[in-house]
Chains A and B, each alone.
Chain A
Amino acid sequence: MDTRDTPEQAELRRAARRLARELGPATVADLEDDTRTKRLAAAVRDAGWLELRQDAGDGTPLATGVECAIVADALGGAVADVAFTGPVLAADLARRAGANGADHAAVAFSDSLTEPVTRGPGFAIDAAAEQVDVAYVLVPDGDGFRLAEGHLDPPNASNLQNRAGQRGRSAHAENIGGVCGASTDLTREVRRLPAGAPVGEVAGHLTQDDLTAWTALGLALTSADLVGVMRGVLDVTVAYASERRQFGVPVGSFQAVQHLLADARCLMEGSLSITLHASWAVDELAPDDAAAAGRVAKAYCARAARTVCETAVQVHGGIGNTWDCIVNVYLRRALLSSQWFGDDGEQLYQLQHTRLGVPNGLS
């Protein structure tokens, strides 16, 4: 056993963090900088990261769950407003279904965001590009599924205009009272798959095991994103606490503040340790074991990320509660990554079934 990065993994970690730091948003206003977002999207595409789970030619993916998690962690750490996990999960699902060659950017999820849908309505999370207009859905087929594609609502009905500032508020206002197509997360797209959306056939078949193994990848990558979010928001917050002065001294010199930040650092470290294992398990353990590893990681990371982001808001004081403070971008991203494949409450519910023998229906 040796959980250290290989030299290649360490290099990928450095490169991904550097790219995310250089091209990710440093401020809330940066979210509206189209030049930057286009450069970021191009850099991620050119790095080949969106293809990491495509077929290497022998049915196996080009890269393991570990490499994918390294990138997800780096992008989360910079709240990078670029699609990654969505397209990677879509490619992985297509590969498992033997439906290579399709170039889809997303999978449609149920209202709960915990599992793929068999028909609309649904939500395509982290769709890669504006020109993508279909998302995968699963059609029951024997004791497994066929892969099909559903047509998404156009981007302007979802959260493309929910990026920041005034535009964000008005987009939100339009959605009040209706079916909300907008995402809370200001850094990733969530597109609606409407009820009754036309569905087209795609070749391929998925077994229940395929779906379980794919779910393990989803749990690992959303956990890794949360690890990154925690690291990033903690860096921002420690820097702020070192500079912001009250009573003539930096607020970070007060033990009351120090202890909140120390707790946050510990939560981040524990989250990283458990997520490394989940990301490794994706390709190395049997589907049920990989999913179990993913569930414990996600339970830990979702709960930790909530606490860490809330600490960040608190330590920033008044400004931390404003839209223009970058901390809110981290918190919002954490909320989506937590819900996607299920938050800590959902994972604990699932663990009660698998580990405690709690029958379905007993709540």
Chain B
Amino acid sequence: MDFRDSPAEAEFRSRLRTWLTENNPGLPTSSTDDEYWVRQAEWHTALYDAGFFGLSWPAKYGGHDLPVVFDVIVDEELASAGAPPRPSLGYLVQGITTHGHEAIKDRFLPGLISGRERWCQGFSEPDAGSDLASLRTTATKDGDDYVLNGHKIWTSYSDVADWCFLLARTDPDVAKHKGLSAFAVPMHQPGIEQRALRMINGITKEFGQVLFDDARVPAENMIGEPGEGWRIAMTIVSHEREPGELGYVARYAKTVKELERTVRADPSAFRSDQRAAVAWAHVEAEMLRLHVCRRLSERLDGVDHGPGGSIDKLLMTWVEQSVGAAAVAVSGSRAALDTEDVGLKVYLYSRAQSVMGGTSQIQKNIVATRILGLPTA
């Protein structure tokens, strides 16, 4: 057991730290401001071009073939510099890498990893949330294409996406889990309409809805086999639940640092419960940083955590919501008087973490039955 950097890790850390002194874009905390989402692509490509993104992914797709633990260093240094977190798209890379044919991997992974091609994920629908397999968007074979009709929602980055990782029903005549397939759908076409969603903290640039009205996708853009959609979705959501894949550790640590700075400027201006909330947020954020260290180290053994991602998602959710609680506590009455208050926005955004990527209740079902082995009703 060794939490210290190896010589190669230390060299990488030092290089990243130096780079960040010159290249920190000074973006706001991602959860609070549209500016972050608008400039995210710029940040992604800057990080990638400097050699600090896509570290553990195959070099032939633009990655660096490094052990996954290097991502911990990126998270720590981004947090320490107050820089934005790394883009969260590892789960799409995992989905394509695990299930895509060679041609799909060759075509799509380099652009996804480098940030030159922007992606969104079309899974949830208005009537298919936790019960994802009941989704109704259809993909109907028509010559060399599939024709797409349906309505996706909670689609992050849909307004800037070039591609959509779409889950659609290709076979309505089989059991609901078996009739789904996955596609790389070009977003820039007449049959696709994107509508922004305004979230409770006011941001409009993260989530959208996407309407498919006789949109088309070439059959060769299918990811995996016909009917393999559910399995692919499970690969993706299990990774989407892993903080090590998402890089959120940096976001939480950055917010905690800002809260600490606020309190430190005049400790006597805050009640003990407000200060304790900030101290607790630090404890939670540290827990997650170290939990990610442990999980990524375990992956060095080739361990695939599978349902363990649900444990990590719940831990991450508690961290985000502890940080949100600390932020709104420090804001005090400002949170009630100023709708632009950053503490308020951090708090409001944090409530989504127990819903997105699978609700906490779904995660607990998974932990109870698949990890604890409790009987199903």
- The CA of A347 and the CA of B260, in the complex, are separated in Å by 16
Cβ–Cβ contact B364 & A262, under 8 A: yes
A66 within 8 A of B: yes
B172 within 8 A of A: no
Q: Which of A66, A252, A300 contacts B287 (CB 8 A)?
A: A300
Cβ–Cβ contact A274 & B365, under 8 A: no
Nearest residue in A to B265 (C-beta to C-beta)? A357
Contact residues in A for B361 (Cβ distance below 8 Å): 255, 259
B333 within 8 A of A: no
CB-defined interface of A80-105 with B at 8 Å, one 1/0 digit per residue?
00000000000000000000000000
Cβ–Cβ contact A6 & B1, under 8 A: yes
- The CA of A145 and the CA of B303, in the complex, are separated in Å by 48
A358 within 8 A of B: yes
Given contacts A1-B69, A2-B297, contact A66 B1 (CB under 8 A): yes
Given contacts A249-B377, A356-B275, contact A262 B314 (CB under 8 A): yes
B22 within 8 A of A: no
Nearest residue in A to B277 (C-beta to C-beta)? A348
Segment among B2-10, B104-112, B133-141 that sits at the interface with chain A: B2-10
Q: Which of A3, A284, A357 contacts B264 (CB 8 A)?
A: A357
Contact residues in A for B286 (Cβ distance below 8 Å): 274, 296
Find the residue from B69, B290, B376 having the highest chain A CB count within 10 A: B290
B residues 3-21 in Cβ contact with A at 8 Å = 3-6, 9
Contact residues in A for B5 (Cβ distance below 8 Å): 1
Contact residues in B for A255 (Cβ distance below 8 Å): 361, 364-365, 368, 377
Contact residues in A for B294 (Cβ distance below 8 Å): 3, 272-273, 276
- The CA of A281 and the CA of B291, in the complex, are separated in Å by 15
Main secondary structure of the interface of A (DSSP, over half): helix
Cβ–Cβ contact B9 & A1, under 8 A: yes
- Distance between B283 CB and nearest chain A CB, rounded to angstroms: 5
Cβ–Cβ contact A261 & B372, under 8 A: yes
Number of residues of chain A lying within 8 A (CB) of chain B: 52
A residues 219-274 in Cβ contact with B at 8 Å = 238, 241-242, 249-250, 252-255, 257-259, 261-263, 265-266, 269-274
- Distance between B335 CB and nearest chain A CB, rounded to angstroms: 20
A112 within 8 A of B: no
Cβ–Cβ contact B1 & A276, under 8 A: yes
Cβ–Cβ contact A2 & B1, under 8 A: yes
Cβ–Cβ contact A352 & B279, under 8 A: yes
A351 within 8 A of B: yes
Given contacts A1-B2, A356-B275, A359-B267, contact A348 B280 (CB under 8 A): yes
B298 within 8 A of A: yes
Contact residues in A for B263 (Cβ distance below 8 Å): 356-358
A170 within 8 A of B: no
Main secondary structure of the interface of B (DSSP, over half): helix
A residues 272-292 in Cβ contact with B at 8 Å = 272-274, 276-277, 280-281, 284
- The CA of A296 and the CA of B368, in the complex, are separated in Å by 28
Contact residues in B for A242 (Cβ distance below 8 Å): 373-375
- Distance between A271 CB and nearest chain B CB, rounded to angstroms: 8
A299 within 8 A of B: yes
Contact residues in B for A249 (Cβ distance below 8 Å): 375, 377
- The CA of A351 and the CA of B260, in the complex, are separated in Å by 11
Cβ–Cβ contact B375 & A253, under 8 A: yes
A residues 1-20 in Cβ contact with B at 8 Å = 1-6, 9
- Distance between A256 CB and nearest chain B CB, rounded to angstroms: 10
B72 within 8 A of A: yes
Cβ–Cβ contact B363 & A262, under 8 A: yes
Contact residues in A for B291 (Cβ distance below 8 Å): 269-270, 273-274
Q: Which of A253, A269, A299, A357 contacts B283 (CB 8 A)?
A: A299
- Distance between A307 CB and nearest chain B CB, rounded to angstroms: 11
- Distance between A16 CB and nearest chain B CB, rounded to angstroms: 15
Q: Which of A254, A266, A363 contacts B367 (CB 8 A)?
A: A266
CB-defined interface of A23-34 with B at 8 Å, one 1/0 digit per residue?
000000000000
Contact residues in B for A358 (Cβ distance below 8 Å): 263, 267, 275
Contact residues in B for A253 (Cβ distance below 8 Å): 374-377
Given contacts A284-B3, A348-B283, contact A276 B290 (CB under 8 A): yes
Contact residues in B for A265 (Cβ distance below 8 Å): 311, 367, 371-372
Nearest residue in B to A235 (C-beta to C-beta)? B372
Contact residues in A for B1 (Cβ distance below 8 Å): 2-6, 9, 66, 276, 280
Contact residues in A for B297 (Cβ distance below 8 Å): 1-4
A362 within 8 A of B: yes
B98 within 8 A of A: no
CB-defined A-B contacts under 8 Å, sample of 7: A261-B374, A263-B314, A266-B311, A349-B276, A352-B267, A358-B275, A362-B267
Chain B residues within 8 Å of A, Cβ to Cβ: 1-6, 9, 69, 72-73, 260, 263-264, 267-268, 272, 275-276, 278-280, 282-284, 286-288, 290-291, 293-295, 297-298, 300-301, 311, 314-315, 318, 361, 363-365, 367-369, 371-377
Chain A residues within 8 Å of B, Cβ to Cβ: 1-6, 9, 66, 238, 241-242, 249-250, 252-255, 257-259, 261-263, 265-266, 269-274, 276-277, 280-281, 284, 296, 299-300, 345, 347-349, 351-352, 355-359, 362-363
Other A-B pairs, 15, CB within 8 Å; known A2-B300, A351-B283? A1-B2, A1-B72, A2-B1, A3-B294, A238-B373, A242-B375, A273-B295, A276-B294, A277-B293, A281-B3, A284-B3, A299-B280, A300-B284, A356-B275, A358-B275
